[in-house]
Each structure stands twice: as C-alpha cells, then as structure tokens.
Amino acid sequence: MYMQKTIKIGNYKISNNLPLVFMAGTCVIESEKHYLDTAKKLKAILAKTKHPFILKASFDKANRTSVDAYRGPGLAKGLEILTKAKALTGLPLVVDVHEPWQAEEVAQVADILQIPAFLCRQTDLVLACADTGRAVNVKKGQFLAPGAMEQVIKKIESRGNHKILLTERGASFGYGDLVVDMRSLEIMKQFGYPVIFDATHSVQKPGALGCATGGNRQLAPVLAKAATALGIAGVFFEAHPDPDHALSDGPNSLNLEMTAQMVRQLCAIDQVVKKFK
C-alpha cells in the first residue's frame, strides 16, 4: 500500500485519507463587490458541512476562447481584492498563476498557487511556483496521461517543495468535448500526494459556443460523486450566484442551490468511503 502524504494549508490538513476539502469560487473576479459577496455566501454554505473550504480565485483568465472575452481585473487590482477577501472571510486562497514572474507576487496573498491545465508542462512556471515555498496545485493537462504527472511532481520536488496537490479535470475527447477516466484519480493517488477532482471544468465543451466554451453543469455533481467514492482529498468547482450571466465559464458553473445540494451529498459519500480506509 502506498503511503499517503498530508499537506498543511493554514489550519487545514489535506490528504486522500482525510475528510474531503472543497475548493470553490467564481471562475474569475468580475468585480470587487460581486466577488466578496459571493465569497461570503459560499463560506456560509460550506460552513454547514464542517469540511475544510479553500476559496478559489482568478485575477486573469489568460486562456479565453475569444480575444474579446472578459479576462479579469488583472494582477494588481486582483490581488488587492483577494487580500480583502482573505481578511473578510478568513479563508485560505487558491489562485491561478499563468507566468513565472507572477508567482512571487501571488504567493504574498495566496496559500496555494495553481497551475492551469494547459500550462502544466511549462517548466519555468512550475519551478517559479515551487520556489515560492507555497503549496502548488497542478491541474493535469487535458492532453496528459495521469502517469506523466510524475515528471511534474519531480520538477517541484527538485526545488525542495513537497507541498503538492494534483487535480484531474478531464481529457480531450475529439475536438469539442471532455471525458473523465476515473482510473486517473487512482493512478495519481499512487504518487502519494493529495488528489483533487475538478468537477466543473470536467464538464466543459471547449469552444462549443463558437466564441466561448460551453458546458453542462448538470453533470458536474454526477462526476463529483463518482470521484468522491474513490477516496480522494478534495473537490474543486466553480460556483456563481447567476451562472447564466457569468462573465466566464457560466455553462459549467454551479448556482448556489446546486452547490449546497452537491456538497451535502459529497460529504455523506466521503464519510462512508473514508470509514473503510
């Protein structure tokens, strides 16, 4: 049996053998008021589960489909808003980093630096994030086999950083769809680091709307329940008060009612699964 590592994020302990952790938030910061209001609502929903909750944030969505798509407030304004969110909620933050030069600045605010799936093989970015000493959550590329994540792990470990999380977010299937191979979660667990399942990005339909990515949010809870049943460390998802009018990733984002229902179900499944571990 492979040894499962435990990663500490503030007062939280994250492991494939410990109670499920949730990472959630809007796809991108739409405005200061919108983000802070949503963060407070999500905190209230997740507090009822008594499971660890890490607030998700993006100050820039650098991989939008269209050049005209909204990307976010940018680094300076984004980090200002995130600093306020952290003070307001007391929650740890997981924040996307797209370029190596951003890593050190983001690490001043974020508890976890997140490497987007498209960038998981970018060595300079991976090393820059590792060098901050912060925990690094790497999303497995849609083009990458789960076993290949071992090389990404070695890059981070080469800098003396062993605070690593691995996230599954589906694999490309043809030109406009993703599928989730649940074997991927078990394969990545063999590396010992906490494995996270990204429920909402896994139901994306890349480029399906022509100038934007589509998706099917109704299937996100279905996949999340299946993943949780395998005994993983956490579930990542995007949530929005009004997904149909979200400025990014609306089709696959959960509304707050769906969020409350899904997390209750996942906690119940996790409790049963971890009891037998």
Q: Are 112 and 100 in contact (CB under 8 A)?
A: no
Is 6 a residue whose pLDDT tops 80? yes
Tokens of 169: 């977010």
Does residue 73 lie in a domain region?
Answer: yes
Q: Region of 241 please: left (phi>0), alpha (psi -120 to 50) or beta.
A: alpha
Residue 1 domain flag: no
Q: Is residue 47 part of a domain?
A: yes
Specify the range with the lowest mean pLDDT, choosing from 29-33, 84-88, 210-214, 245-249.
210-214
- Residue showing tokens 């074997």: 183
Cα 138–chain centre separation: 9
* Structure letter (DSSP) for residue 254: B
Of residues 214 and 103, the one with the higher pLDDT is: 103
Mean pLDDT, to the nearest integer, of 122-135?
A: 98
Of 199, 248, 213, residue with least CA distance to 31: 248
> Residue-wise over 195-222: b if at least 16 C-beta within 10 A, else e?
bbbbbbbbbbebebeeebbbbebeebbe
Residue 121 in domain: yes
**Residue at 124 is within a domain:** yes
Task: Compute the mean pLDDT over every residue in the chain, rounded to the nearest whole number.
Answer: 95
Per-residue pLDDT band at 47 (split at 50, 70, 90): very high
Which pLDDT does position 277 carry in this prediction? 64
Kind of pairing, strands 204-205 and 214-215? antiparallel
Would residue 18 count as lying in a domain?
Answer: yes
Average pLDDT over residues 245-256: 94
Which of 62-71, 88-97, 109-118, 227-236 shows the lowest mean pLDDT across its residues? Answer: 62-71
Domain assignment present for residue 104? The answer is yes
200 has a pLDDT exceeding 90: yes
Q: Please give the pLDDT value at position 100.
A: 98
Instruction: Give yes or no for residue 29 having a pLDDT over 80.
Output: yes
pLDDT at 208 over 70: no
Name the DSSP letter for residue 252: G
pLDDT computed for residue 60 by the predictor: 92
Looking at 78-231, which runs of residues are DSSP E strands? 93-96, 112-115, 135-139, 164-168, 171-172, 178-179, 195-198, 204-205, 214-215
The number of folded domains in the chain is 1
Instruction: Report the percent of the chain where pLDDT is more than 90.
Output: 88
Closest CA to 266 of 239, 241, 234: 234
Closest CA to 236 of 62, 52, 5, 17: 52
Main-chain phi, psi angles of 239, to 5 degrees = -130, 145
pLDDT (0 to 100) of residue 276: 83
Q: Please report, for the domain that includes residue 127, its CATH number.
A: 3.20.20.70
Assign 65 a pLDDT band (cuts: 50, 70, 90). confident
pLDDT at 61: 86
**15 found inside a domain:** yes
Q: Which domain holds residue 86?
A: 7-275
| pLDDT-above-70 percentage for the chain | 99
| Predicted model pTM | 0.96
